[in-house]
Amino acid sequence: MMPLKRRKVSSSTGAASTSDSRDDAFKFPQVVVFLLERKMGSSRRNFLTELGRKKGFRVDEVFTESVTHVVSEKNWADEVRGWLSSRGHDSTAAHLVDVSWLTESLSAGCPVCVLQRHRLTERPASSVDEAAAFSMPVYACQRRSALDHRNVVFTDALSLLAENAELDEDAGRALAFRRAAAALKAFPEPLTDARQIRGCPCLGRHSLRVVQDILEDGTSHEVEATRRSERFRAMKLLTGIFGVGTKTASEWFGEGIRNLSELRRSGRVLNRAQRAGVTHYDDLTRAVTKAEADAVARIVEEAVGAELPGARVVLVGGFRRGKPSGHDVDLLITHPQEGLEEGLIPKVVARLEARDFLLYHKSSRKSHTEASAAPACPASSMDRFERCLSICKVPTPEGRDDGALGGDDERGRCWRAARVDLTVCPFSQFAFALLGWTGSKLFERELRRWATHEKDMSLSSHALYDNKQREYLQAATEAQIFAHLSLEYVPPSQRNA
């Protein structure tokens, strides 16, 4: 196939005369749009230009006196005027609008009225100094994020929008909201004015608009509308079922299933994990406390110790970062003598089953080797250790731990169901696995991004590979991994990005 030829851009006079001669080809000749490439980028500008023309809008390649709407993205009004003025253009007769005006017009099929929220705002006089004075590293792995921070109302709102985007399988939008929330978690003071975060990384216009709405109205109408929406509530409930992902939940939602009662009446054939998830739904959607997690760790440690004396069992995930509760219990297992840990999971599972501790389990074998993982294969965010995903009977504080956890009477049982994940790793990979399984998810993602883009390395829960030197970098502790990456060590309690 012959490649498409790039369309030539004519001079200002030629472009204007061509556009004028084609006024009758546009649905709305009285509206002439010019897209400012500054901060928007050529690819996005070209895409919006073609889309606008397909919808019947006149979009000129160059600025002329005929332009009625100058559309830009992530610019202040004075920046746009200055940019145009430096090229000899007078923009006083044109509307200076945000790209949201264009997208809303394209959705409506006609130019919408320019409202105050569409107009570009002037850069506050103090914002330049504030932006210069306020400095925050771009990568979340360069920042310290404690559990207790001062901007919960904003981060909760952004996190809800991120969750909704994830349920819609819009990974890019979800990540943008997650990064914005992470930046505000690390912000050192309570946010009372949007000017405080001018220059703050990872805060795009959408996130800033949510922040501004909360500052002005005490809430975000978009967030509240999302929280109340039928799809969000149904998808959140359905994906809360153990063994159900967003794709399956979306299919069920499309079939009219909104809750467990409708799922049961639908006649859908569920797999073994999903049946267990429905059976124990109330327990599994209730937070696991630190006391309950510690009780699970003791039971698993006893079973592991009986099979492999000297093995180490570590409670990881949010609990290692200091969280008082979580949605599951993650335990990482290793042994100082490498190789003895292989095949441990089936033996531990057999002991836990004999104790009537398991309600459901599924085990997977180790599938990672250095030869298969690198250098040809890049590091993955998903590890390939020997593992058991399970639902267990967790002793409740009022229950007795007498070596057996029987008793299925709901009125007087001494246990509750909870998700418990067991992962076994070789001792040489323990530091990497410990770092990867501690989280938070965004912190780990940013660590891998930093390794790739800033250090030309590949980081996973198995290893750190230097692509320049073409060798693995050994590490016995998390601190050594941070040192390899030229990063200041961040303790687990400060990794809550």
Beta bridge partners of residue 419, listed in sequence order: 391
Q: Is 283 a catalytic residue?
A: no
Q: What tokens does 205 get?
A: 């216009």
Q: Is 330 a catalytic residue?
A: yes
What DSSP letter does each residue of 234-268 carry, written as one string?
Answer: HHHHHHTSTT--HHHHHHHHHTT--SHHHHHHHTP
Beta bridge partners of residue 391, listed in sequence order: 360, 419
Of the residues 328, 401, 402, 466, which is catalytic? 328
The arrangement of strands across the sheet holding 386-395 comes to 312-315, 329-334, 415-424, 386-395, 358-364
Of the residues 170, 213, 356, 421, which is catalytic? 421
| Distance separating alpha carbons of residues 256 and 410, to the nearest angstrom | 31
| Distance separating alpha carbons of residues 177 and 475, to the nearest angstrom | 33
> Which residue is associated with the tokens 């996005």?
44
CA angle 167, 173, 179 (to 5 degrees): 110
Q: What tokens does 15 get?
A: 């472009």
User: Helix, strand, coil % (nearest 5) of the chain?
Assistant: 45, 15, 40
Length of the chain: 497
Q: Is 328 a catalytic residue?
A: yes
Q: Cα–Cα distances in Å, from 482 out to 293, 414, 431, 457, 487?
A: 28, 43, 11, 12, 5
| Distance separating alpha carbons of residues 52 and 48, to the nearest angstrom | 6
Specify burial of residue 65 (Cβ count, 10 A radius: 0-12, 13-18, 19+). exposed
| Distance separating alpha carbons of residues 418 and 395, to the nearest angstrom | 10
The arrangement of strands across the sheet holding 58-60 comes to 58-60, 32-35, 69-72, 95-98
Q: Cα–Cα distances in Å, from 54 out to 31, 50, 97, 298, 388?
A: 15, 6, 21, 65, 53
* Cis preceding-peptide flag for 440 (omega within 30 of 0): yes
| Distance separating alpha carbons of residues 269 and 87, to the nearest angstrom | 66
Of the residues 60, 98, 330, 383, which is catalytic? 330
Q: Could you give phi then psi for residue 252, rounded to 5 degrees?
A: -65, -40
Element (H, E) at 223: helix 221-228
Q: Which sequence positions are flagged as catalytic?
A: 328, 330, 421
